Amino acid sequence: MSDAQPTQATEIAAAVRQVLGDSLGYLYPAALRVALRNDIADHLTDGPKTAQQLAELTGVHGPFLHRVLRFLATRGIFREDQSSAFHLTPAAHVLRTDTPYSVRSTALLFTDEMYWQSAGRLEDTVREGSTVFDDIFGAPLFDYIQGEGERERLFSDAMDTMSMTEQSGIVASYDFPETGTVIDLAGGLGGFLRTLLTKNPGLHGVLFERESVLQRHKLDDAAIEGRWKTAVGDFFEAVPPGADFYVLKRIVHDKSDADSLRILRTVRGAMTERSRLLIVDAVRPHVDISPSVTISDVLMLTVFEGRERTEQELEELLAAADLKSLKVISTPGALSIVEVAPV
């Protein structure tokens, strides 16, 4: 008994520290946003600087900035040396604007008030069974940001950044034919389509998006010249008919069942019997769910009306749209490719 008591006390103390630390977890993204908005990582690219030096460059309060950066250093964002100068760390490097692997735009989106305020009312979402985003901002997220300028640009940039980290692995995981046409539906700035066409030189592609997004596309690449075009439209209404492949990448998971079904039926109406639809999303297992899928699932109910679905849940949606799953293909990351054919 004497051995058990100290062990129990240690476990209780650890549990208390964990719960209290988690209760203040919101301070980390708040501090991270301070560093992002003031481009602290960029200001450290030419060497370490003190908080006061950084404050003079950014126009903020030096002592307060020091306290925020010191806090971020406890999480591996920046490192403070004995002379109180802050250095870049591997985590800080990916916050720079001048690196090809920067996730700055995604981090800015995830710490934006659109996400922040919605998360603050998660209790209301759970009680009501629907997101409170509309109640806070007056419209669903995609309607809210459409044509809004800065936030629509931020969202597109953030999704492009996320795609950059996963698109090569996804393209390599599927056996595309030597020739054919691929339509990337709501494909953002076109990063995924560009990678797909680059790795499959016999394919042609169409980037289907809102006009305001297409104005900033990234398909002007000599490697795919003459093999792509853009198309303006709304996949709730109609999509270009007769393509060999349609792609819905990170689309279905942020939609309700009703909206997902509307999209799937629209795509089904455009498909030929030989067409294939590739749904690229996380397919949630019943057990051993990865932390990234779990957190994404909560994000989907916080900001959107979607969820990370199981294979069975996807199959039920597909069946209602006169479609069927042929196979589920794993990729190197958290996403899978669900190959879909008309019934």
The structure tokens listed for 185 are 């539906």
Q: Is 286 a catalytic residue?
A: no
Catalytic residue of the set 93, 204, 253, 286: 253
Beta-strand runs (E) in the chain: 49-50, 79-80, 85-87, 180-185, 203-209, 228-232, 245-249, 276-281, 323-330, 336-342
Phi–psi pair at 100, nearest 5 degrees: -70, -15
Are 209 and 232 contacting, i.e. CB atoms less than 8 angstroms apart? yes
d(CA 253, CA 313): 11
d(CA 120, CA 210): 30
With a CB cutoff of 8 Å and minimum separation 6, the contacts of 88 are 41, 44, 45, 78, 79, 96
Are 336 and 309 contacting, i.e. CB atoms less than 8 angstroms apart? no
Catalytic site residues?
253
